[in-house]
Structure 1
């Protein structure tokens, strides 16, 4: 295991951090990092005053490349060694820039975007703060970890509030169910009350009707008898007028007494009050004239 790790480190040192392949014509820049001559030349091709290292962003004073033949010989030796799986895996995991086909070794802190060294010189990111990917990842990892505790607290609070909302929902359903039951019971009682009231009012109306009807019947009999009396008196009076002088004078006192002492029955009247829900006395307003 130790040998494999050492071999992987050796292969990494013999590789260009830009193209991830073994170094070709290796050169060393001012900060000490090594690159393929063609890779660093392409990376700095459009720059004029500032020449940042693609790895540490150190500003090199000029385009001076120091050839490193010793590293080149070492690379040739490393090429003869078997390639470790860790090197292959490392090469596969490092993404390349789609535009420049270089390793995305930088991170733009303003746009939160991965960049390759060639992207660094573009007008879109020229004045933006850039950080090597490993340093940027470590920094943002720390920042993300700082979010974990508050987020856990927010999750706990949200879950508690959710439980309360669910509980309130069930509580509301229960209260509504009870209220509906009470309303149904009240409605049934009210219907029963109205039914009883209706029957009572009908009963009282019937009593009032019977009482008034009885008075009307009594008066009907009295007026019938009075009409008969008047007709009889009318007949006697008319017949008396046809008799002789002696007979008229003989019976005139009796006729006078009957005509002058007639007793006319009192006239019974009533007024029916519709849609009245009061006691039966108020259904009819009765009077005698």
Structure 2
């Protein structure tokens, strides 16, 4: 019995944890577990960056595996053991521990192997007993069904784990992108403040020079006035010491000198208060997006035939027609409307543009005629702003994000460049019916994709 247990343990060690068969071309992971080379590669198929061990879930750094030559030779040796001891094993049939007879029956209630004498005992007289072969076949089928169910469950769990790993990396990528954007915003603020600091510093230098000149002039005026006062005071004191006749002689000049003394004029040296602030649109766009954000989806019923719409209905790609054009291609502009419209309030949405070419963004009346060759304009109920993305051979151009703000009651549509948070354009008019967000791509554009709701 000890030999059989040791042999079973040895065979288990020589088996693959995935296929449960003897190891074929065994390889070892960095965490020390062994698998068939084909099994582990199949298990890791489609994974990137992280490769979990099926046994301990250790995250292996890459697909690099070490071939285990010694384990290969040991497995080949283990394979030969059953064939060498097969005849002896077949001769050794299990015996009942109580009656020392061959076990031929199985009790379905107690799940216990029994011999013929066990059937006669009072413990098993009224219990269902069936032959071992029949019981084994029945339980083997039951275990197979369990295997299929658990295998399906395991597959679902592994898919869930794979999705979680992908979600983890997606979250990391988003955080890294937000960190990069935050760093760019900080640099932009520092640059803006540096420019304002230079302007204020130059203004302070000019004001300092002006104040110094005024102070010098004030000092000169005060010094001259002081001299006049001192001279006049000396004359008056001298006059007061003379006799009556001497005091009254020439008194007119004393009075004239006192009366003609000029009033001291001093220039004001008050400093101007210099302040600096962030540009109003910088925080304004963030506030508008947070308060008035609208979640839009595109309406397939309004999409031009040359548009390819995504399953999420949040992006369209312009496809250049090949062969004979559709009659509608010649009577309408490549455009699509949002499924959502607005007849009141304020709303803000973001459009991200990918590719090269010209696009038109804005709003139009719900009754705006689309199947016509008349150019869209405010006169026929379409208020739009064109945006051109040039071709760059030297370096890739950052995908522009355009923010559109609608104030229905005010009758205003404003456009913002969210990449640098600058104001682009504004449209004012009187709106009298429901407005639909409008997206169009010029037919001359070779490759252009419009995505809605991609901003922060």
Query: So what's the TM-score if we normalise by structure 2?
Result: 0.35
User: What are the ranges of 5 or more consecutive residues in structure 2 without an aligned counterpart?
Assistant: 1-84, 278-456
For residue 128 of structure 1, report the CA deviation from its aligned partner.
6.6
Determine if contact 1:219/1:265 at 8 Å carries over to the other structure: no
Distance 1:177 1:100, change over 3 A: farther
CA distance in 2 between counterparts of 1:149 and 1:113 reads: 25
CA separation in 2, counterparts of 1:198 and 1:218?
30
State the match for 2:164 in structure 1. Answer: 165
Cross-structure match for 1:139:
138
CA distance in 1, matches of 2:110, 2:209: 101
- Native 8 Å contact 1:107 1:130 kept in 2: yes
Of Structure 1 and Structure 2, which has the larger fraction of its residues in helix?
A: 1
Unaligned runs of 5+ in 1: 1-84, 280-289
SS of alignment partner, residue 263 of structure 2: coil
| 1:277 aligned partner | 275
Is the partner of 2:264 in helix, strand or coil?
Answer: coil
Q: Report 1:94-173 matches (<5 A).
A: 94=94, 96-97=96-97, 105-110=104-109, 112-114=111-113, 131-173=130-172
In the alignment, the residues of structure 2 paired with residue 206 and residue 188 of structure 1 have an alpha-carbon distance, to the nearest angstrom, of 27
Q: In the alignment, does 2:90 pair up with 1:90?
A: yes
Distance 1:87 1:233, change over 3 A: closer
Matches within 5 A, 1:152-231: 152-231=151-230
SS in 2 for 1:262: coil
Say if 1:251 and 1:209 are closer, same or farther in 2 by CA, change over 3 A.
same
CA contact (8 A) 2:218 2:267 kept: yes
Choose between structure 1 and 2: higher strand proportion. Answer: 2
State how far apart, in whole Å, the 2-side matches of 1:211 and 1:95 are. 117
- The CA deviation string for residues 207-265 of structure 1, in whole angstroms up to 9 with x for no partner, is 23333333222222211111111111111111111233333222211111222332232
CA distance in 2, matches of 1:135, 1:204: 102
Q: 1:187 to 1:263 in 2, by over 3 A?
A: same
SS at match of 1:94: coil
Q: How many residues align?
A: 192
RMSD: 3.8
* Matches of 1:187 and 1:231, distance apart in 2: 63
